[in-house]
Amino acid sequence: MSVVDSELKTDIVLNRRNYFAKEVNPILRMAVNMYGKKYPEPTKENCANPDSWVLLDIWDEFFELEDNPGRDTFFKALRKITVGVLESMDYYSERMTWFLMKLMMAYLDGRWQPLLPCTPFAHWKDPATIAAKDEAIEDFLSKQAKTLTTER
């Protein structure tokens, strides 16, 4: 995950934070939630595309780890939309697969940065991630204590 500041990030997060937080993001979530309600609930029983089954498995794992009730409706709507589109529209399914292949190649050749072992940590229930976060905090505090000790 990149924490590098960019002109775009500065614009969204700093310059126009209130605008995005109060006007753009809520409307985006509302639209996704609204359109998600229009899609039927995807299951392995009502899907025939093996890629849809993989996506369902990944979404299931995601929901085991995600722990933000305030975003549950949004992510469940995204699940219905992504699996529904993958299952029913070859045009978009082929493009989703193309993007996935490109992302995978970028990840494998190091252009797409992997998550740190301690991320994501906000609203995330993965024990390995929580342990890595705790270790990272302990390491940081230990280094800070050593720095303070050597400065005296």
Task: Note whether residue 124 is domain-resident.
Answer: yes
Co-location of 76 and 36 in the same domain: yes
Q: Is residue 137 part of a domain?
A: yes
For the stretch 112-124, pLDDT in tens is 888 888 787 788 8
Q: Provide mean pLDDT across the span 53-64.
A: 97
38-55 pLDDT, tens digit each: 999 999 999 999 999 999
User: How many angstroms separate the CA atoms of 120 and 8, rounded?
Assistant: 22
Statement to judge: residues 74 and 133 lie in one domain: no
Shared domain for 14 and 51, answered yes or no, is: yes
* Domains in the chain, number: 2
- Least Cα distance to 126 among 78, 61, 72 occurs for 61
Rounded to the nearest 5 degrees, what angle is found at the Cα of 112, between the Cα atoms of 111 and 115?
135
Q: Give the span between the Cα atoms of 10 and 60, in whole angstroms.
A: 34
Contact 125, 119 (CB under 8 A): no
pTM for the structure as a whole: 0.81
Tell me the pLDDT of the chain averaged across its residues.
91
| Residue 2 belongs to a domain | no
Average pLDDT for 86-114? 94
1 within domain boundaries: no
Given a cut of 60, whether residue 102 has pLDDT beyond it is yes
